[in-house]
């Protein structure tokens, strides 16, 4: 059986390195190309050297050349870069796994357009554990729909540029959808000064940035006399990489379309 040919975008970044390591350790995946930005000092270098070995694949900024003949691109970069890569994937018929966060509504719509021609897995968090947590939050929201205030607290490393995290927003979206609310209207992203009594229909977000925290997320359902907390803590980016590789495998056996990790993990209600 032939191996799945994977291209890793942003290969010199924190997630890129985890993805390279995951692909190279896999029995059914092979590194087809490694992409980095055009001003990278690593261009032309063997991608394997980034993780202490060699693989014969030179790091390149030529997106079209990198994607030619590939099965899937895995992209954890920035929205603008991901959309550029997506356009080439659509043209060449290459599936894509997107872990990039920070897309606006218009940019997300472009992902849906591309999904009419290629397979797209787009998720705010590729971790298997986080996506199981999404399912648990759906269940909890149904049971705790009245009399419980909902607050989401997330913490990440000092280098993260967007807030709240895509995962925290994803959690909020799951809860809001389950409760029949519009997150855009009920989310509260900061409190300061005399805010008045809490509106029970809101979903609150709090953001922490510091050190090298990989990713901590806690959702609190605070009622009278009790508080239920559902928490996920990531200690290594390997968990996100392993989930992304699972998504890449999923795309090889599914038609063009827009998918998320709930599809990949078969967690959606039938």
Phi/psi for 248 (5° steps) reads -60, -40
Tell me if residue 58 is catalytic. Answer: no
> What span, in angstroms and rounded, lies between the C-alpha atoms of 170 and 239?
17
Nearest to 250 by CA among 78, 64, 119: 119
d(CA 23, CA 45): 18
Q: Are strands 187-188 and 149-156 parallel, antiparallel or unpaired?
A: unpaired
Q: Is 269 left (phi over 0), alpha (psi -120 to 50) or beta?
A: beta
Per the listing, tokens 């003949």 go with 69
Write down the residue that tokens 């599936």 correspond to: 95
Candidates 3, 42, 135, 160; catalytic one: 160
With beta carbons less than 8 A apart as the criterion, state whether 19 and 241 touch.
Answer: yes
Whether 156 is catalytic: yes
Distance CA 190, CA 79 (A): 24
Catalytic residue among 5, 32, 156, 217: 156
Enumerate the active-site residues: 156, 160
């Amino acid at each position: 059986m032939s191996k799945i040919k994977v291209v890793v975008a942003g290969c010199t970044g924190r997630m890129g390195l985890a993805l390279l390591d995951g692909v190279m350790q896999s029995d059914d995946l092979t590194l087809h190309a490694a992409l980095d930005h055009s001003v990278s000092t690593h261009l032309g270098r063997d991608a394997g050297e980034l993780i202490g070995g060699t693989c014969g694949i030179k790091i390149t900024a030529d997106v079209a050349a990198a994607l030619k003949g590939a099965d899937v691109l895995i992209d954890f970069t920035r929205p603008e870069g991901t959309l550029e890569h997506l356009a080439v994937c659509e043209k060449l018929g290459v599936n894509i796994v997107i872990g990039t966060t920070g897309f606006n509504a218009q940019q997300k719509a472009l992902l849906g357009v591309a999904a009419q021609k290629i397979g797209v897995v787009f998720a705010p968090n590729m971790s298997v554990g986080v996506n199981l947590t999404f399912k648990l939050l759906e269940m909890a929201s149904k049971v705790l729909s009245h009399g419980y205030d909902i607050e989401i607290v997330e913490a990440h490393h000092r280098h993260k540029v967007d807030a709240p995290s895509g995962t925290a927003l994803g959690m909020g979206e799951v809860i809001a959808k389950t409760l029949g609310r519009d997150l855009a209207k009920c989310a509260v992203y900061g409190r300061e000064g005399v805010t008045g009594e809490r509106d029970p229909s809101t979903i609150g977000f709090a953001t922490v940035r510091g050190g090298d925290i990989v990713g901590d997320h806690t959702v609190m359902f605070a009622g009278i006399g009790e508080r239920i907390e559902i928490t996920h803590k990531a200690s290594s980016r390997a968990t996100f990489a392993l989930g992304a590789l699972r998504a890449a495998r999923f795309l090889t056996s599914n038609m063009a379309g827009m998918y998320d990790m709930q599809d990949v993990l078969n967690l959606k209600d039938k």
